[in-house]
Amino acid sequence: MSYARPNDKPDAATLIAMHRQMLLIRRCEERLERDVKAGNTPGQVHLSTGQEAVPVGLSAHLDDGDKITSTHRGHGHFLAKGGDPQAMFAEIYGMAEGVCGGMGGSMHVADVSKGILGANGIVGAGLAIATGAAFAIKLDGSDRLAACYFGDGAANQGVLMECLNIASLWCLPLLFVCENNGYSEFSPSNTVTSGLIADRARPFGVPVRNVDGNDVAAVWQAALWATDHVRAGRGPVFLEARTYRHSGHFSAEPLVLDAPYRPAGELTEWLQKDPLLISARAIEAAGHASAADLARMDAEVTQAVTEAAEAGLQGTAPAGDAAGRLMFVDREGNA
């Protein structure tokens, strides 16, 4: 029995909503890049500009009851899952009004009420957390699922094998989502990764699909197959989305057009395949909206992002004892 519905395509409203969501992520991260330069953030950020289609195409099939785990490059995962932009900005600025009280910053944005179990600075750690979340869902007997985002670099961590094994054995409702952007920090994948990443799932009997991670409609379609499969109780699936980060690995890196570890012209080539361009072309070609409509949408989103960031900057510094209070609880669980 196949759970694939290859002819199902996102309708006009979904395409437009996904375009808006990708714009939101892009404009938030562009703002963050400027914030780092302006000294508004206590630390650095890892941007996912260019990779927006993956979390947006998947999140269209998720709601607050579904869980995600994220990576060090997690702003897009957070926003696509419905995380609040202002609370994210405040968090990254280190403010008490931040989504984690200003204690986590960019690499730990989390909002459990939205099923966002957190970004994570430890490469591959989200895999095990999502596997645990999927086990909890299974014990609860609900039709929820857990999805773990991880990079091509994380695909070389042993924890991936452990999670594939147990998720398959216990038929867990778990969606593995590899965002293959071709680089692990400053190392091209072909210098650190052997074989094909999706092939790592096959010996465990986990179904695999490769998808163009810059085409949000393609991701939406693959995610429809994946979420149908998982929700039907058929066990885990593995998506490998090929994409590319426009930015450097992190914001401390000089953002030259072609960084020394990238072949000349590679970024320019990928900019022609920008997920926003692909999505805009598809929407316009289908007559769902005009270029002028999309430009208006962009202006609205940009304005909302500016307001969210400025409001975040007006926050207050966390109280001196806040970290201690969040670290320790008494026997009754009170902070």
Ligand X SMILES: Cc1ncc(C[n+]2csc(CCOP(=O)(O)OP(=O)(O)O)c2C)c(N)n1
The CB-of-73 to ligand X minimum distance in angstroms stands at 4
Residue 152 engages ligand X in binding (rule: CB under 6 A): yes
Looking at beta carbons, which residue is closest to ligand X?
A: 151
Site for ligand X in 293-332 (CB under 6 A): none
**Beta bridge partners of residue 146, listed in sequence order:** 67, 174
Cα 134 to its chain centre, rounded Å, is 18
Residue 153 engages ligand X in binding (rule: CB under 6 A): yes
Sequence-distant (≥ 6) Cβ neighbours of residue 51 within 8 angstroms: 73, 76, 179, 181, 213, 243, 244, 245, 275
The CB-of-72 to ligand X minimum distance in angstroms stands at 5
The CB density around residue 306, as the number of other CB atoms within 10 Å, is: 12
Residue 70 engages ligand X in binding (rule: CB under 6 A): no
Site for ligand X in 236-295 (CB under 6 A): 249
Rg (CA), the chain: 19
The CB-of-325 to ligand X minimum distance in angstroms stands at 27
Piece in contact with ligand X (CB under 6 A), picked from 28-36, 60-68, 131-139, 176-184: 176-184
Q: How far apart are CA 164 and CA 87, in angstroms?
A: 34
Q: How far apart are CA 91 and CA 101, in angstroms?
A: 7
Residue 122 engages ligand X in binding (rule: CB under 6 A): yes
The CB-of-107 to ligand X minimum distance in angstroms stands at 9
The CB-of-217 to ligand X minimum distance in angstroms stands at 23
The CB-of-7 to ligand X minimum distance in angstroms stands at 32
Residue 154 engages ligand X in binding (rule: CB under 6 A): yes
DSSP state of 249: S
The CB-of-251 to ligand X minimum distance in angstroms stands at 13
Residue 73 engages ligand X in binding (rule: CB under 6 A): yes
The CB-of-151 to ligand X minimum distance in angstroms stands at 2
Residue 123 engages ligand X in binding (rule: CB under 6 A): yes
Nearer to ligand X, 20 or 108 (CB): 108
- For the chain, percent helix, then strand, then coil, each to nearest 5? 45, 10, 45
Q: How far apart are CA 220 and CA 10, in angstroms?
A: 7
Extract the tokens encoding 276. Answer: 């926003």
What does each C-alpha distance from 40 to 27, 29, 322 come to in angstroms?
17, 14, 21
Q: How far apart are CA 179 and CA 217, in angstroms?
A: 16
Nearer to ligand X, 154 or 305 (CB): 154
Piece in contact with ligand X (CB under 6 A), picked from 7-15, 181-189, 197-205, 215-223: 181-189
Burial of 268 (0-12, 13-18, 19+ CB in 10 A): exposed
Piece in contact with ligand X (CB under 6 A), picked from 66-74, 111-119, 126-134, 284-292: 66-74
Q: How far apart are CA 46 and CA 253, in angstroms?
A: 10
Residue 181 engages ligand X in binding (rule: CB under 6 A): yes
The residues of the shown chain that bind ligand X, judged by CB under 6 A, are 71-73, 121-123, 151-154, 181, 183-185, 249
